[in-house]
Amino acid sequence: MTRYSVEPDAAVPHSKSRGSHLRVHYKHCREIAHHIKGMSASKANKFLEDVLARKAVVPFTRHTGGIGRKAMAKQCNSAGDKGRWPVKATAVVKDLLSNAVSNGETKGLDADKLYISHAQVNRAPPGRRRTYRAHGRIGKYASQPAHIELILTEKQDGVEK
């Protein structure tokens, strides 16, 4: 059994999904996970589909160097209106989300009540390559893969006063 950074309370119905050493950009995955955390599973899935169709933008809040401003990012209230449409990372997160939803359905959870209670992205060890430069020099050429984990929890019905 794999270890997650957070273990939800056993009394709370939940489902999990994780991917390790994924060949997608860490920074893109971090921004996507930060934005969808707290959303319902259906709303997050719709958002990810819209990003793939370029109808919605992923707001970039931390890793913003060299990212241009987008008019769509104003809808997300992101600082500096910066955003992108990271296709490969979005597809990977969407697959993990659908995996977590199907894991929840296997456990007998209601898919309509599931929401993303925990979304975390960690850096994986870089894939190192070399590029050959002028005058006999060699430069590093490294990829920045990611570990992604999602935990979906079933929303509890509110209690009337």
Residue 41 lies in a domain: yes
Residue 159 lies in a domain: no
Asked if residue 67 lies in contact with residue 84, where contact means CB atoms within 8 angstroms, the answer is: yes
Q: Where are the alpha helices (DSSP H) in the chain?
A: 26-36, 41-52, 87-106
pLDDT at 161: 77
Residue 84 lies in a domain: yes
How far apart CA 88 and CA 129 sit, in angstroms, is 21
Residue 9 lies in a domain: no
Residue 3 lies in a domain: no
pLDDT at 104: 94
In the chain, how many domains are there?
Answer: 1
Residue 77 lies in a domain: yes
pLDDT at 1: 57
Residue 1 lies in a domain: no
Q: What is the pLDDT along the chain (161 residues), one digit of tens a residue?
A: 568 888 888 888 999 999 999 999 999 999 999 999 999 999 999 999 999 999 999 999 998 889 988 888 888 877 789 999 999 999 999 999 999 999 999 999 999 999 999 999 999 999 999 999 999 999 999 999 999 999 999 988 777 77
* CATH number of domain containing 78: 3.90.470.10
Query: In whole angstroms, how far apart are CA 161 and each of 63, 113, 154, 157, 158?
Result: 44, 22, 22, 13, 9
The closest alpha carbon to 16, from 103, 95, 91, belongs to: 103
Residue 2 lies in a domain: no
Determine the structural domain holding residue 131 and report its residue range: 14-154
pLDDT at 28: 96
